[in-house]
Amino acid sequence: MSSDTRRRKAAKIRHLLETEGESVHENTTHFNEERYDAVEEFDDYEAVRAEARAIKEDAIERLPELVETLRDSVEENGGTLYIADDAADANAYIGDVVDEAGGDTVVKSKSMTTEEIEVNEALEANDVDVWETDLGEFVLQVADEAPSHLVGPSLHRTTDDVADLFNRYFDPDEPFETAEQLTEFARDYLGDRIRAADVGMTGANFVLADSGTITLVTNEGNARKCAVTPDTHIAVTGVEKILPSLSDLGPFIELIARSATGQDISQYVSLFSPPTNSPTLDFEDPEAPAFETDGDRSFHLVLIDNGRLAMREDEQLRETLYCIRCGACANSCANFQHVGGHAFGGETYTGGIATGWETGVNGIESADEFNDLCTGCSRCVTACPVKIDIPWINTVVRDRLNHDHDSSEFDFLVEGLTPDEEPARLDLQKRAFGNFETMAKVGSKTAPVSNWILDSSPIRDGMDRLMGIDQRRELPSFRRESLVDWFAARGGNKVRSTDRTAVLYPDVYTNYVLVERGKAAVNVLESLGVEVIIPDVPGSGRAPLSQGMIDTAESKAKQVTDRLRRYIDAGADIVVIEPSDLAMFRRDYEKLLPARAFDMLSENSYEVLEYVFGLLENGAEADALSNADSRLAYHSHCQQRTLGLDAYTEAVFERLGYDVITSDVECCGMAGSFGYKSEYYELSMDVGSTLGDQFSDATDRTIVASGTSCSEQLTDLLSSDVKHPVEILAPDGR
């Protein structure tokens, strides 16, 4: 990426932060909080998620067969099923149906799939009036904008925004001011159009193969009206929405609203097996009976392929087809919460999963623009009702984009320095961050000179220009004596134990930069009677993986496992300080290693405070640890939370009598290299400011964070020293 492109990207993000950021933040965080509450109150949540996942896996596996079952049942009900290869095919078919119905007005309910095929434009080109009846979509239609969110398409707009827009567009006698006035106006305006329409078009959240049923999940009631008021009903949806039968629907009804908005159930969950036996409605003659039971209803179900069947064959993208479009991955994403779908989205889809959808339906170029906004923080992983590994899809697509990239004139320079497994064409910025370990090694050997050089303005200038490393960020300062060297120099372990041996994993940051927290960890573990070993082990591959350098990450994963295997075989536990590295061992390595190797490492690895908690539970003396610095403000780490490990740190603090307040943001906004990138620096700071605000009143407390990135971000935001929990717990005078 050229520095010009970076500047343009930064400017676009800045503009959206200023114009739409506030409204997006308010709405997405509201949905997100409501989701947490709803899930907490729903006892069977995990079991139902597993059930939904299994049903989707099976349905996508059996898709061709289900399509045929569906065709039979739709026809048996008296409707027609059409499978459209692509957008043009779908639009041609829909155009013909509208034409045959003599339709000059079509009313629609919200459907992302019709956004994908741009059916409105296609119909309008044939002089058909098309009206969006979902109020959010109606706002966008008037504003001529694209949706910024899967569920709340216009949530980037405030009431005042919409009032301005409608006052200009509709020029009412009394200008609109309130949400009530706007809603009432839109309802009446659209009500007239629904009653006059010849064709109603809806999407379908789920389609049931063996009964020919479409399921519509809405809150407004417009989809019901669009489906039954006009005589002709066209339902348009993706071919992946098919479920085998009614008995498979339960988990999805239980999950979709909770995940989307935190409601237990949406206002209207309609199951239509059209043509329905509801009477047709004739509003043209006011005196005639409204219900004509002999009226002829016609129904067309249009299922769109548009790349989906190819996604089904693509081992990595296939999971995308399980998506039920609830938007939880967007709502739980810190970057999305701040910038919204107009930056974090492609031609049609928005949020984390948009990378999968865009790559599948619009082509990988459409994902290129926003794919880097996924930092891999993994908060969406527990939010997704069908357990899609959204960060992994983003990583895979990033990897594919890396292999496609334009060659850079500086490749020859970097390749000699950074022997990774990636193609020569790889973007320089990604290569630099992906190979942080090499940089850290060299930097440490030559410290402090390396730090002076890296800090000098011509070098920072060049790094900014060539690699987009933002000059406003302070670079890590490498330590001459690494943790591994220090440990060897002190003569290895100070405590011998036949009970418990821990290998303290020297992650790249702890080893070369934040050496103090490594020493503190040794101190804490030894104080609790654990024999500690710190062998020289390579980086986990987190840095290259986050840049989409999967081959390099895979090779790291193998090296790490090979190196740690014999310690594990000998009965040692692996203790990890940096949560993002532990997340590699426990989550990401599943994708990179053979199952046996993954199981071995993941089952024997512990986050350091998780380990301390276990030791205390098993009788280690809490008195051995410090409780001096008693007032703390603690920020856990995104990946640590996804693994459910934040509770251990809090529990240990509590046991030792600390007074702790905790943050409740999804991510600090730094996310490894993300906050260093000049195109994302401002977004990163904006995301961070939410965290900063939560601790701004905690000036009398010591700021504590588990992750390196979080510490860097908090240091920048609060201009204060930030400590790792083990540094708090380490007994004085180690």
User: Could you say which residues in the range 304-323 bind ligand SF4, by CB under 6 A?
Assistant: 323
Contacts of range 39-47, beta carbons closer than 8 Å, 24 or more positions apart: 39/258, 39/259, 42/254, 42/258, 42/264, 44/254, 45/258
**710 touching ligand SF4, by CB under 6 A:** no
**247 touching another protein, by CB under 8 A:** yes
Query: Residues with Cβ < 8 Å from 505, sequence gap 6 or more?
Result: 537, 540, 564, 574, 575, 576, 577, 581, 605
User: Is-contact 656 625, C-beta < 8 A?
Assistant: yes
Q: 196 or 698: whose CB is closer to another protein? A: 196
**327 touching ligand SF4, by CB under 6 A:** yes
**244 touching another protein, by CB under 8 A:** no
**231 touching another protein, by CB under 8 A:** no
- Per-residue tokens: 193: 């159009």
- Give the DSSP per-residue string, 487-547: HHHTTS-S---SS-EEEEE--HHHHHT-HHHHHHHHHHHHHTT-EEE-------SHHHHHT
**243 touching ligand SF4, by CB under 6 A:** no
Smallest separation (angstroms) from ligand SF4 to the CB of 160: 29
**220 touching another protein, by CB under 8 A:** yes
The three-point CA angle 383-386-387 to 5° equals: 60
**CA neighbours closer than 13 Å in the CB half-sphere of residue 107:** 26
Q: 101 or 388: whose CB is closer to ligand SF4? A: 388
Smallest separation (angstroms) from another protein to the CB of 116: 21
Q: 212 or 360: whose CB is closer to ligand SF4? A: 360
Return d(Cα 23, Cα 669) in angstroms, integer.
19
Q: 152 or 275: whose CB is closer to ligand SF4? A: 152
Encoded one letter per residue, x for contact with ligand SF4 by CB under 6 A and - for no contact, window 148-167 reads --x-----------------
By CB under 8 A, name the one of 19, 211, 382, 627 that touches another protein.
211
By CB under 8 A, name the one of 41, 46, 65, 160 that touches another protein.
160
- Nearest in space to 1 (alpha carbons), one of 396, 405, 374: 405
- Per-residue tokens: 528: 């609790």
Q: Which of residues 76-95 bind another protein (CB under 8 A)?
A: 77
Smallest separation (angstroms) from another protein to the CB of 385: 15
In sequence order, which ranges of 621-707 are alpha helices (DSSP H)?
Answer: 638-642, 646-655, 681-695
Q: Which of residues 249-278 bind another protein (CB under 8 A)?
A: 249-250, 253-254, 264-274, 276-278
The piece of 152-160, 302-310, 424-432, 584-592 that touches another protein (CB under 8 A) is 152-160
The piece of 174-182, 279-287, 325-333, 439-447 that touches ligand SF4 (CB under 6 A) is 325-333
**157 touching another protein, by CB under 8 A:** yes
Smallest separation (angstroms) from ligand SF4 to the CB of 261: 12
**144 touching another protein, by CB under 8 A:** no
**329 touching ligand SF4, by CB under 6 A:** yes
- Supply the DSSP symbol for 588: I
**515 touching ligand SF4, by CB under 6 A:** no
Checking DSSP bridges between strand 206-208 and strand 573-576, what pairing results, if any? unpaired
Q: What are phi and psi of 566, to 5 degrees?
A: -70, -30
The piece of 285-293, 338-346, 521-529, 577-585 that touches another protein (CB under 8 A) is 285-293
The three-point CA angle 359-244-118 to 5° equals: 35
In sequence order, which ranges of 118-197 are alpha helices (DSSP H)?
Answer: 119-124, 135-143, 159-170, 179-196
Query: Residues with Cβ < 8 Å from 559, sequence gap 6 or more?
Result: 538
Indicate the Cα dihedral angle 575, 581, 582, 588, nearest 10°.
-150
Q: 328 or 576: whose CB is closer to ligand SF4? A: 328
- Give the DSSP per-residue string, 89-104: HHHHHHHHHHHHTT-S
The three-point CA angle 641-546-385 to 5° equals: 45
The three-point CA angle 47-53-56 to 5° equals: 145
* 671-to-39, 636, 708 alpha-carbon distances in Å: 26, 13, 9
Helix (H) or strand (E) holding 60: helix 45-61
Encoded one letter per residue, x for contact with ligand SF4 by CB under 6 A and - for no contact, window 253-292 reads ------x---------------------------------
Q: 121 or 292: whose CB is closer to another protein? A: 292
Q: Quickly count: other Cβ atoms within 10 Å of residue 10's Cβ.
A: 19
By CB under 8 A, name the one of 16, 55, 117, 186 that touches another protein.
186
| Interaction partner, residue 388 (ligand SF4, another protein, none; CB < 5-8 Å by kind) | ligand SF4
**Count of residues of this chain found to bind another protein when the rule CB under 8 A is applied:** 73
Q: 208 or 302: whose CB is closer to another protein? A: 208
Q: Which of residues 344-403 bind ligand SF4 (CB under 6 A)?
A: 353, 380, 383-386, 388, 390
Smallest separation (angstroms) from another protein to the CB of 221: 3
By CB under 6 A, name the one of 163, 302, 311, 326 that touches ligand SF4.
326
Smallest separation (angstroms) from ligand SF4 to the CB of 416: 41
The contact set with ligand SF4 (CB under 6 A) reads: 150, 259, 323-329, 353, 380, 383-386, 388, 390
